[in-house]
Amino acid sequence: MIKCKNCKRELTGRHKRFCSCNCSSLWRYRNLPAYRKKLLARSKKVYYKQRNNPKFKADQRRRFNDWLENNRAHFNDLCRDRARECERKKRKRRKKLKLCVYCGKKRTIGYISCESCRKKINKKEHKSRVERINKGLCSICGKIRINTKFITCEICRSRMREWKRRKRKERKQKFYKL
């Protein structure tokens, strides 16, 4: 018995190579580059004719919104990752050119940002620190602190102690080497 070239089902009736028109189209699209090119060119022509049609636009918008509703988390992750990557590249390029990594203006020597950006960041950080303290949270990480005597949690205090020890050690080494 003769089988369909695409789906390998047994052929019945008058068909010689494919069981249906869909199977023949799929096989041609997959196996014949000229057919694929012709089909894509035809679909582009149809798209370019219809793209300014209000009904077509509305249908495209509706389909995209339906897809977006079903894939919101995935879409947000894609956008967030892309934006994060673009920001990283921008900061890296600005740092290399010795510009402020936030606004692109000339930066202060010894810093990665300009004076105005540092002021904005400091103001924002101070505001968030005060809000955290008022809510009874750690002023650094924002987690709930167990001991209310301190404004930071135990983890942040231990990190700060370790950082201070390391800095003190570096200063001593620097001082005695000179």
> How is the chain split into domains, by residue range?
32-70, 71-135, 144-178
CA 103/CA 169 separation, integer angstroms: 35
Predicted structure pTM score: 0.49
Give yes or no for residue 4 having a pLDDT over 90: no
Q: Report whether 70 contacts 80 (CB < 8 A).
A: no
What pLDDT was estimated at residue 29? 85
Q: Does 75 score more than 80 pLDDT? A: yes
* pLDDT for residue 1 is more than 70: no
N- to C-terminal Cα separation, the chain: 93
Distance of alpha carbon 18 from alpha carbon 46, whole angstroms? 27
Stretch 49-73: mean pLDDT: 89
How many Cβ atoms from other residues are within 10 Å of residue 160's Cβ?
A: 12
pLDDT at 178 over 90: no
